[in-house]
């Protein structure tokens, strides 16, 4: 029964993937104020003056740009090599009329210090709703996680030919499938031409699923237990070790990891990556919770087709909630004491490999 409950999240994910809706509009989740209990903030000097910078694409082709750059007087923002916005140390600009592109990139250039190259985090696809960039976040040391290097997603089995061509143009070279064998059989991955495909089954060896939760409380417990299994289970340690090793070794990125809904197994993979890179805990949590926004249309469609009692049980499994991710970090602390020790002893990523990963993925 315990093994069945641990994997209920995967069953819910499979249900989620049965309906593909249009990508939800990009939303900026509020900060939770949450942070890892065993890490502190270190505000050092940095060559990048931006403390905040975001690109948000609207449904009407407009882009909203926001920034804060300490110690600067002027910021210029370029798209396709042309200045599209100007402002002071802090500002907001709305840009429209740009030509269609797979991803629209913006270069934030301050009058002093290094600039940033950013895009909207969501990559819009016809056959996936939760495909997004892992980067674009600031670390506690003032560095930034590069965009266009690491991607996270929901299932790839419904990608269209146009989607696959877009991913090829985005240089997706290495795909890690975090799903179970039953999920992979029911919906085999479609990967861009030339990309390496690797199975990294998080729940491998956890047993088949024989029961689903019967109440909302049971569903919440199943999600919490599943998060702990991702950290402590042999399948999880091996799978996430494979992903980290792939990200560290692959100099010809981009790397993509995904599960079915792109929120739980994928959510822990991305939270682990951002934590390892030094992104603050409240930022990591906001990124994790963003799946609720990106998946809202798909999840609402599923719940609307279920009887109310059944919908009440399924909703906790379709959601991402702070208590789910926190239970993963609690398990890390209980088993390993520190996150670096989890990386080393759990995933096999030593200090040298972590240093190389930071060198490759951080700027500033």
In angstroms, the CA 267 to CA 315 distance is 17
Helix H or strand E encompassing 110: strand 105-110
Q: Which one from 259, 289, 313, 325 is the annotated catalytic residue? A: 259
| All residues at 6 or more sequence positions from 258 whose CB lies less than 8 Å from its CB, including other chains | 131, 152, 153, 154, 155, 156, 175, 176, 177, 178, 179, 266
Pairing, β 150-153 against β 255-258: parallel
DSSP state of 343: I
Among 172, 154, 190, smallest CA distance to 16 is for 154
| All residues at 6 or more sequence positions from 156 whose CB lies less than 8 Å from its CB, including other chains | 127, 128, 175, 177, 189, 190, 191, 258
Among 109, 132, 137, smallest CA distance to 23 is for 132
In angstroms, the CA 185 to CA 183 distance is 5
Helix (H, G, I), strand (E, B) or coil at 197: strand
CB of 247 closer than 8 Å to CB of 219: no
Alpha helices in the chain (DSSP H): 2-6, 8-16, 161-169, 181-186, 216-232, 234-249, 265-277, 281-289, 291-294, 296-304, 308-318, 322-336, 339-341, 351-361
Q: Is 259 annotated in the active site?
A: yes
Active site residues: 259
């Amino acid at each position: 029964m315990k093994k069945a409950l641990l994997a209920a999240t995967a069953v819910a994910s499979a249900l989620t993937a049965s309906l593909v809706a249009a990508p939800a509009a990009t939303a900026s989740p509020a900060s939770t104020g949450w942070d890892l209990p065993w890490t502190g903030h270190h505000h050092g000097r940095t060559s990048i003056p931006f403390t905040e910078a975001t690109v948000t694409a609207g449904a009407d082709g407009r882009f909203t740009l926001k920034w804060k750059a300490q110690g600067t007087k002027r910021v210029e923002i370029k798209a396709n090599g042309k200045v599209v916005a100007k402002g002071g140390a802090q500002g907001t600009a709305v840009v429209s009329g740009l030509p269609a592109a797979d991803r629209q990139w913006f270069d934030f250039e301050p009058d002093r210090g290094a600039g940033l190259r950013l895009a909207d985090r969501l990559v819009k696809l016809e056959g996936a709703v939760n495909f997004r960039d892992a980067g674009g976040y600031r670390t506690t040391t003032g560095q930034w996680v590069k965009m266009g290097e690491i991607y996270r997603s929901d299932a790839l089995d419904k990608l269209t030919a146009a989607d696959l061509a877009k991913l090829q143009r985005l240089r997706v070279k290495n795909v890690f499938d975090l799903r179970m064998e039953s999920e992979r059989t029911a919906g085999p991955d479609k990967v861009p031409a030339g990309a390496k495909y690797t199975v990294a089954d998080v729940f491998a060896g956890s047993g088949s699923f024989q029961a689903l939760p019967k109440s909302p409380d049971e569903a919440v417990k199943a999600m919490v237990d599943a998060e702990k299994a991702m950290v402590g289970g042999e399948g999880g340690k091996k799978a996430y070790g494979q992903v980290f090793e792939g990200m560290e070794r692959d100099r010809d990125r981009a790397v993509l990891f995904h599960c079915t809904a792109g929120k739980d197994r994928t959510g822990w993979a991305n939270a682990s990556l951002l934590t390892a890179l030094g992104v603050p805990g409240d930022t990591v949590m906001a990124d994790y919770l963003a799946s609720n926004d990106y998946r809202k249309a798909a999840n609402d469609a599923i719940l609307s087709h279920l009887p109310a009692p059944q919908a009440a049980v399924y909703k906790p499994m379709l959601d991402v909630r702070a208590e789910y991710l926190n239970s993963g970090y609690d398990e890390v602390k209980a088993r390993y004491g520190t996150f670096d020790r989890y990386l080393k002893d759990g995933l096999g990523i030593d200090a040298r490999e972590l240093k190389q990963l930071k060198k490759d993925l951080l700027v500033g």
